[in-house]
Amino acid sequence: MADERELWERICRGDSGAFDGFYQENFARLTGFLRQLLGNTQTAEDVAQETFLHLWHKPNGFHPENGSLREYLFGIGRKRAAEWWRQRKPTGDEQEPEKTGCETETSSLVEEAFSKLGADQRSLLWLKVVEGQSYVELAEILEIPVGTVKSRLFAAREEWRRIWHGASAGKRVAT
C-alpha cells in the first residue's frame, strides 16, 4: 500500500515516468476489461486511453485508503464505458464481443455463450476470472456490496451455463 501511495503521489506531481510504468502494466488489462463492457477492441482502446488521460489529468480523485490505484483505474474505466454507451445513439442491439477463434467445438460454444451475456455479466466475470480481483476489490470497482458481488457472479455463471447448454442442445438437434 505504501508503494501504491508513493506511485500515486509521483503521478500527482506529474512524474510521467511513474505514470508510464503504471500505464504499461495496466493498459492491456484495462482494455481487456473494457472490451467486455463495450463489445469491441477499438472502442475499448479508445475508452482505455481516455481513462488513463483522466487519471493523468485528475489523479486527486483517488483515495489510497479506499483501495488500490488499479481498482480506481478500473472504476474510472467502468464509468467511462457507461458514459460511452449513454452518448452513443441507439442503434439496436449491443455489439457482441469479437470472437477470438476456437480450438474445439466445446470451446467455441462456451465462447459463443459468453459473448451472449450482458455487458455487466461479462465484465464481472472477466474481472474475477481473468484479472483475479477479490470480492472486496470488485465491490470497490463496481460500487456494490460484497454480498452482491457473490450473488451476481453466481447469476452470471448460471446464465452463461444456461446459454451454453442451450447452444449445445441446438447443435445436437441440428446435426
Partner 1 sequence: MAADMARCVCREEGGDVNCEKAAESVSALCDGERIPREVAEHLGACEECKARLNEYLQMSAELRRMAIIAAPQRVRDVFWGPQETMKSSWWQMLRESVRIPRFAFGLMLVAIASLGAGIAIVRANNSERWFQFEVRTRHGGTALRGLTSAEPKEPEPNGGPVVTHEAGGTLAFTVRVLAGTGGSEKLGVRAIWLPRDADQSGIEERVPAAPEKDFWVIPGQKLSVPVNDYGEIEITGRLLDKLPDDQNPSEMRLYPKEGQFRLISPQVLLVDGHLLSKGGGNGYNFTKDSFFAYYAPHDGWYVFAFKAFPGATEGKINANEVEFTLDGRNYTLLAAAPIVDTSVTRIWVQHHAGARLVDSQPVSPDRDSHSSTMFGDLNYMLEHLTKE
Q: Which residues bind partner 1 (CB under 8 A)?
A: 16-17, 19-21, 23-25, 27-29, 31-32, 35, 41, 45, 49, 52-53, 56, 98, 100-101, 103-104, 106-107, 110-111, 114, 125-126, 128-132, 135, 150-151, 153-155, 157-162, 164
Least distance from C-beta 90 to partner 1, angstroms? 27
Q: For residues 139 and 143, what is the distance between their CA atoms, to the nearest angstrom?
A: 5
Cα separation, 101 vs 49, whole angstroms: 26
Q: At closest approach, how far in Å is the CB of 122 from partner 1? A: 9
Minimum Å gap between C-beta 9 and partner 1 is 18
Q: Which is nearer to partner 1, 33 or 92 (CB)?
A: 33
CB of residue 170 to partner 1, shortest distance in Å: 16
Nearer Cβ to partner 1 (48/86): 48
Residue 89 vs 162, nearer CB to partner 1: 162
Apex 20 CA angle, 18 and 25, nearest 5: 100
Whose Cβ is closer to partner 1: residue 62's or residue 160's?
A: 160
At residue 143, φ and ψ (nearest 5 deg) are 60, 50
Q: Residue 89: exposed, middle, or buried by beta-carbon count in 10 A (0-12, 13-18, 19+)?
A: exposed
113 and 167 Cβ atoms separated by less than 8 Å: yes
